[in-house]
Copies of this chain bind each other. A is one copy, B any other.
């Protein structure tokens, strides 16, 4: 067990690292040359001038104003200053509610820390169980529950503490849920007109031999929502086209790079090789080569564009259907359309930039199969991921390398390299796995067939949390891989598991304190430094940037990364709740994390991050649910721990808590979750009525036109201005009415002809 000195040393190292990061940040952010790395959000909002355009030549790159260096920490109060409403306006509700996760942490743990230090620390301290033992122990252990003799009546204090923690946490959670639900409702109510308010995504449109998908959609909604249907937008399978656009962009970058190179050194035409990253193949003139390549792709792209819009097979059985009113859309999104629940599935359309286009065409049966596959795959990933890593590690040792690559033998036999391989390589294999893990989880979620970025991130976050819970939390407590744990759990009875884990909990306190400092403190300080975007920005700036627009694109503001960040915050909630009644000494460290992270992320949200979508805090129910999970885990572990301390009277008293907590969770789900899932008719009607009174002649049809077109069709307008097909721009204006082909359908109302949707022939670029 670590002594207080070890902890102190670790704390010093981490605090110094964090301070070094902060100082580096304070210095770098003041340099005008880094302005676009540390304040991209303001550029994107068009509220910041380019610093390069004004002042002396040197001042373009280096800040020479000495006074500004003295106030190097003034970003902190600045970050806290912006009022909430302005922040919502500036960065969106998602970001603001994301910050509330840290605030919730503070709200939960500040009173608990105070209470624990006032009540539990004296109770634990004034014993001498550990002094009589030969075990090495530290002051931290003297402050923990381990210092109380078995069977002591003092455990009543811990029992009472468990009740206090539960009730306080639930109180805070309920209040937060209520506040955030209200924020969401207010946000939705105050929002300006947005296409997704009027639009419903329809999936699994059945095949019909007589009609195209576009006609079918029109007829179906004219019949079943006669007073509300307005228009629809079919979805094209433009994945191949998107790939081409992507490829063209890459080629364009290379072309820019070589052109710049040529401009700087006009004496020598740059050359490249044709195959495999420019390393092999015949040598050619680079600028000519990429120019011809791009021309080839442009041609291909144009052909693909025509193919997509002419071929009925490139229309996937999904469509965005828009209604005359929000009420009509709310009704359609919440109701079942036909007696077969696997076709004509309707749901609220995500906002256009939130749509994950690739998954729109997945049929219903395939969805359930995919979910099964991913469930099984995730189970194996979670519990068996150590097996492939162990295999890689066994290859990556000395003998493995010597066998596989014998010519390296003299090299690896060098003592320094030998010790490096033996000491670091196995760890690196694990580290690489952990770095790519969020990507793997995101891939899994994509495979499951979710249709919006926001839901993908939420799903990945759940998976990541489960992984962290088993492999980091339980893995550290029981010091075994999840696979070993799984075996242990299977061979243990239901009441032994919390006991086994509970007993190990107090012994791991020092480990987790160090973890909080390394992962929490230093990690957050590293976040604000933005080392990776800094380097990449300057590289791009040097090699690619020619125009202001290029520079704009070279900025990488990033976003919150809900899928990997939120589960890591949840780990601190878990640690705090589990240790609050056991080793309260860990709580101040967690408090520092929450406070520091709140300030840092507030700064980042104001100055850096640029959210890709706005879901209106739809993630809060899962945040809430995970804190509840942590609370129940903490109760069960305390129960297990106390049952080994000859204080088994506590079991029934403690068993009440998980039951009550679970009930509280169900109550909250019934009471608040609908605000995050469903759209009430009253609000829709209110907004409709107001708007109709204000703008009676607003042309909704024109407003909604093309709002749900695949971005690759829209991209044609501004991205490819230099190399795009010339007649791309004209296609948006023309609108053709689709005459109904099927005359036998008698129930189609008469207005069908005049209310025709913007189907295949109108919504897609016509090659004229």
Contacts from A to B (Cβ < 8 Å): 185, 223-225, 227, 330-331, 334-339, 341-342, 344, 364-365, 368, 371-372, 376, 489-496, 659, 663, 666-667, 670-675, 678-683, 685-686, 689, 747
In the bound complex, CA of A227 to CA of B206 (Å): 30
Chain B residue at minimum C-beta to C-beta distance from A368: B667
User: Shortest beta-carbon distance, A25 to chain B, in Å?
Assistant: 42
Given known contacts A490-B495, A663-B368, A685 and B341 CB-to-CB distance under 8 angstroms: no
In the bound complex, CA of A682 to CA of B490 (Å): 50
User: Which one of B339, B670, B681 contacts A680 once the chains associate, using CB atoms below 8 Å?
Assistant: B339
B494 adjacent to A681 (CB under 8 Å): no
Residues in chain B near residue A493, CB distance under 8 A: 489-493, 496
Those 3 A-B pairs whose CB atoms lie nearest each other, nearest first: A341-B674, A336-B678, A338-B682
Residues in chain B near residue A368, CB distance under 8 A: 663, 666-667, 670
Given known contacts A493-B492, A675-B341, A689 and B747 CB-to-CB distance under 8 angstroms: yes
B376 adjacent to A336 (CB under 8 Å): no
A336 adjacent to B679 (CB under 8 Å): yes
Residues in chain B near residue A671, CB distance under 8 A: 341-342, 364
A339 adjacent to B372 (CB under 8 Å): no
In the bound complex, CA of A674 to CA of B673 (Å): 21
In the bound complex, CA of A225 to CA of B492 (Å): 58
In the bound complex, CA of A490 to CA of B496 (Å): 8
Chain B residue at minimum C-beta to C-beta distance from A223: B685
In the bound complex, CA of A337 to CA of B341 (Å): 23
B339 adjacent to A185 (CB under 8 Å): yes
Given known contacts A491-B493, A495-B490, A670-B368, A335 and B681 CB-to-CB distance under 8 angstroms: yes
Residues in chain B near residue A365, CB distance under 8 A: 667
In the bound complex, CA of A335 to CA of B185 (Å): 17
In the bound complex, CA of A540 to CA of B693 (Å): 70
In the bound complex, CA of A677 to CA of B341 (Å): 11
Given known contacts A493-B493, A663-B368, A335 and B339 CB-to-CB distance under 8 angstroms: no
In the bound complex, CA of A342 to CA of B673 (Å): 11
Given known contacts A334-B334, A670-B341, A675-B341, A224 and B494 CB-to-CB distance under 8 angstroms: no
In the bound complex, CA of A681 to CA of B221 (Å): 11
B224 adjacent to A227 (CB under 8 Å): no
A685 adjacent to B224 (CB under 8 Å): yes
- Jot down 30 A-B pairs with beta carbons below 8 A, ordered by A: A223-B685, A224-B685, A225-B681, A330-B335, A331-B331, A334-B334, A334-B335, A335-B335, A335-B680, A336-B680, A337-B681, A337-B682, A338-B680, A338-B682, A339-B680, A339-B682, A339-B683, A341-B671, A341-B672, A341-B673, A341-B678, A364-B671, A368-B663, A371-B666, A372-B659, A372-B663, A489-B493, A492-B494, A493-B496, A494-B494
Residues in chain B near residue A683, CB distance under 8 A: 338-339
In the bound complex, CA of A342 to CA of B178 (Å): 13
User: Shortest beta-carbon distance, A323 to chain B, in Å?
Assistant: 13
For the complex formed by this chain, how many copies does it contain in all?
2
User: Which one of B337, B490, B492, B681 contacts A224 once the chains associate, using CB atoms below 8 Å?
Assistant: B681
Residues in chain B near residue A689, CB distance under 8 A: 747
Residues in chain B near residue A331, CB distance under 8 A: 331, 335
Chain B residue at minimum C-beta to C-beta distance from A328: B331
Residues in chain B near residue A371, CB distance under 8 A: 666
Residues in chain B near residue A494, CB distance under 8 A: 489-490, 492, 494
Q: Taking A336-B681, A339-B682, A339-B683 as given, write out 7 further A-B residue pairs in contact, using a Cβ cutoff of 8 Å, ordered by the A residue number.
A: A224-B682, A334-B334, A336-B680, A364-B670, A489-B493, A491-B493, A689-B747
A675 adjacent to B339 (CB under 8 Å): yes
In the bound complex, CA of A371 to CA of B335 (Å): 27
- Residue among A339, A666, A671, A672 having the largest count of chain B Cβ atoms under 10 Å: A339
User: Shortest beta-carbon distance, A302 to chain B, in Å?
Assistant: 41
Chain B residue at minimum C-beta to C-beta distance from A660: B372
In the bound complex, CA of A689 to CA of B492 (Å): 63
Chain B residue at minimum C-beta to C-beta distance from A333: B335
In the bound complex, CA of A666 to CA of B674 (Å): 22
In the bound complex, CA of A280 to CA of B451 (Å): 76
Residues in chain B near residue A185, CB distance under 8 A: 339
Residues in chain B near residue A372, CB distance under 8 A: 659, 663
Chain B residue at minimum C-beta to C-beta distance from A668: B368
Chain B residue at minimum C-beta to C-beta distance from A682: B338
User: Shortest beta-carbon distance, A510 to chain B, in Å?
Assistant: 31
In the bound complex, CA of A494 to CA of B489 (Å): 7
Residues in chain B near residue A747, CB distance under 8 A: 686, 689
A336 adjacent to B674 (CB under 8 Å): yes
In the bound complex, CA of A336 to CA of B683 (Å): 10
Chain B residue at minimum C-beta to C-beta distance from A488: B493
In the bound complex, CA of A494 to CA of B494 (Å): 7
In the bound complex, CA of A683 to CA of B685 (Å): 25
Residues in chain B near residue A495, CB distance under 8 A: 490-491
Residues in chain B near residue A685, CB distance under 8 A: 223-224
In the bound complex, CA of A683 to CA of B674 (Å): 27
Residues in chain B near residue A344, CB distance under 8 A: 682
User: Shortest beta-carbon distance, A669 to chain B, in Å?
Assistant: 10
User: Shortest beta-carbon distance, A177 to chain B, in Å?
Assistant: 12
Residues in chain B near residue A336, CB distance under 8 A: 334, 674, 678-681
- Residue among A335, A344, A365, A686 having the largest count of chain B Cβ atoms under 10 Å: A335
User: Shortest beta-carbon distance, A571 to chain B, in Å?
Assistant: 26
In the bound complex, CA of A196 to CA of B673 (Å): 29
In the bound complex, CA of A679 to CA of B659 (Å): 35
User: Shortest beta-carbon distance, A363 to chain B, in Å?
Assistant: 12
In the bound complex, CA of A315 to CA of B173 (Å): 35
Residues in chain B near residue A338, CB distance under 8 A: 680-683
User: Shortest beta-carbon distance, A491 to chain B, in Å?
Assistant: 5
Chain B residue at minimum C-beta to C-beta distance from A690: B747
Residues in chain B near residue A679, CB distance under 8 A: 336
Residues in chain B near residue A674, CB distance under 8 A: 336, 341
Residues in chain B near residue A663, CB distance under 8 A: 368, 372
Residues in chain B near residue A492, CB distance under 8 A: 493-494
In the bound complex, CA of A675 to CA of B342 (Å): 11
User: Shortest beta-carbon distance, A418 to chain B, in Å?
Assistant: 41
Chain B residue at minimum C-beta to C-beta distance from A492: B493
Chain B residue at minimum C-beta to C-beta distance from A495: B490
Chain B residue at minimum C-beta to C-beta distance from A331: B331
User: Shortest beta-carbon distance, A217 to chain B, in Å?
Assistant: 14
In the bound complex, CA of A652 to CA of B280 (Å): 49
Residues in chain B near residue A376, CB distance under 8 A: 659
In the bound complex, CA of A674 to CA of B345 (Å): 12
In the bound complex, CA of A45 to CA of B224 (Å): 38
- Residue among A225, A666, A667 having the largest count of chain B Cβ atoms under 10 Å: A667
Chain B residue at minimum C-beta to C-beta distance from A487: B495
In the bound complex, CA of A185 to CA of B372 (Å): 29
In the bound complex, CA of A365 to CA of B674 (Å): 15
In the bound complex, CA of A490 to CA of B640 (Å): 13
Residues in chain B near residue A670, CB distance under 8 A: 341-342, 364, 368
Residues in chain B near residue A337, CB distance under 8 A: 680-682
